[in-house]
Amino acid sequence: MNHNNFFDMARKIKPGFKPGGILLFLVCAVMPAFAQVIPKVTIGVDNVSKPADVAVALQILFLITILALAPSLLMMLTAFIRLIIVFSFLRRALGTQTMPPDQVLVGLSLFLTLFIMMPVFTEINDNALQPYLAEKISWKEGLEKAGKPIRTFMLKQVDEKDVALFVRISKKPLPRTVDDLTYDVIIPAFITSELKTAFIIGFLLYIPFLVIDMIVASVLLSMGMMMLPPIMISLPFKIILFVLIDGWTLLVRHLVTSFY
């Protein structure tokens, strides 16, 4: 349909539909400008005569795959797992339902993850990314050097029992040193260890708030107020306790220092 037809439609709109008429007029006015600015994008398949062209195409496909998996890698290979689970446990223990919102908890976990992983990212940038951009090393060498800091970080947090479990499940020869461990063993062992650590911290967070719930429930029962939900009375006390002890600062400090 031509954009002139859109202007004809805009003229026929009834006077009562002012917002729709204004919106349609703006769309009709902006369409010609966008038609001149937006470039044409085409995707095609062509025959190649050199193996180097195939290698370049495979590298582009590999890069696109890495970019698609980047959010999962950020969550599973960094400190994000422990942080988001502990914050979720804290919200459940306080009983505040959706406060803080999920967006706030995820944002806080992401920025704390960047803070904790900054030495790792700096080492990757200095030893892998910058030399590769300066064409001093190949992309294979760059990937190998970029993986070493992440590997070291994961091995510091992983539990030996989890590593032994996945080595035994994979039925691979027993590694003689830590350097013999492969990523298909380190990554699931790291995730399992992080889940275990996060649940332990979450259990410890629950204890003081559970004590408050029990005290409030006992007081209400002794007063004969059995129909009043204890959580309604204990919630302000738990929030006051958490604020008085400066809970966010204590929790964030202990979470960050637990990775060093």
Could you tell me the pLDDT band of residue 28, with boundaries at 50, 70 and 90? very low
| pLDDT score of 246 | 84
50/45 Cα distance (integer angstroms): 15
Average pLDDT score over residue span 243-252:
87
What does pLDDT average to over the chain?
75
* Res 10: pLDDT: 43
Question: 18-22, 42-46, 112-116, 125-129 — which one is most confidently predicted on average?
Answer: 112-116
Asked if the model's pLDDT at residue 205 lies above 70, the reply is yes
CA distance linking residue 160 with residue 188, whole number of Å: 12
pLDDT band at 25 (very low <50, low <70, confident <90, very high): very low
Residue 251 Rama label (left phi>0; alpha psi -120 to 50; beta):
alpha
Domain boundaries, the chain: 3-37, 71-204
Closest alpha carbon to 160 in 130, 185, 143: 185
Amino acid 48: pLDDT? 53
Task: Give the Cα separation of 212 and 240 in Å (integer).
Answer: 11
The share of the chain scoring above pLDDT 90, in percent, equals 4
User: CA-to-CA distance for 155 and 229, rounded, in angstroms?
Assistant: 46
> What is the distance of C-alpha 186 from the center of its chain?
20
Residue pointed to by tokens 């806080």:
108
37 against 92, higher pLDDT: 92
Mean pLDDT of 244-256: 88
For 59-122, give the DSSP string.
HHHHHHHHHHHHHHHHHHSSTHHHHHHHHHHHHHHHT-TT-S-HHHHHHHHHHHHHHHHHHHHH
pLDDT of 20: 47
Could you report the per-residue pLDDT of 71-82, keeping only the tens digit for each? 777 778 888 889
| Percent of the chain whose pLDDT exceeds 70 | 73
More confident residue, 89 or 218: 89
Model confidence at 142, pLDDT cuts 50, 70, 90, reads: confident
